[in-house]
Structure 1
Amino acid sequence: MSSSIIERYFTAFNSGDTDTMLALVSDDVQHFVNQGEMREGRAKFAEFCSHMGVSYRETLRDMVVFVNEDSTRAAAEFVVHGEYLQTDPGLPEAHGQRYVLPAGSFFTLSGGKITRITTYYNLQDWITQVSA
């Protein structure tokens, strides 16, 4: 397995193709979001994707993907270009604010599927941008 599964995942993300993203993750995927609790399972990941699709419109650019020698771990560095569409509980009010945010994701890969996704970004930077 090469970086192709990660590249397919992010291509699907950028085109809003949640079905393809879901097909690339394992049934018991562990999804660790920045500043949030771990969600386990494809159904919880699907709920997260649905929520994100309503609250945010994001495109990831300047993507660099790294994969270890035995293709069991991967990482990606990118820049999020987004628009805040609907207020997320506990966060500033949304009114179409745009933001640009460096971010990264880490993956565990097994059996041709993504079994873990961990994403990091600077939440305070995002809050500052959407509050300006």
Structure 2
Amino acid sequence: METIKDYLAGIDHPDHRERLEEIFDWISEKYPHLKSEIKWNTPMFTDHGTYIIGISTATNHISVAPEEVTIARFADEIAQAGYGSTKGLFRITWKDQVNYDLLTKMIDFNIEDKADYQNFWR
């Protein structure tokens, strides 16, 4: 698997594939400078070689992984959106709406916070 299109092609459930494609398209349109990549079998977006956000599927949800620092910073908003979370990711169930305002805040935060960052992970 080398591209996000390859990742999407591997999703058997058509509604899940469409939903994830919608999220990937939204990120690509809103943040055209971010590079989409597949690393560790996970679709992710990077900026100047540093990780910004990863989004993947599980049986019951979409996993959104913006790094622990970002999860901690937006913990209250994640909870208010009704998403379950761990210290490294939050889950959007297949029936939940995607909170694009929250995704925007997280991506913007990571881009700004890591503007001069030279490593992949924090």
Fold match, TM over 0.5? no
TM-score by length of 1: 0.36
Question: Which structure ranks higher in relative contact order (CA pairs < 8 Å, sequence separation ≥ 6)?
Answer: 1
TM-score by length of 2: 0.38
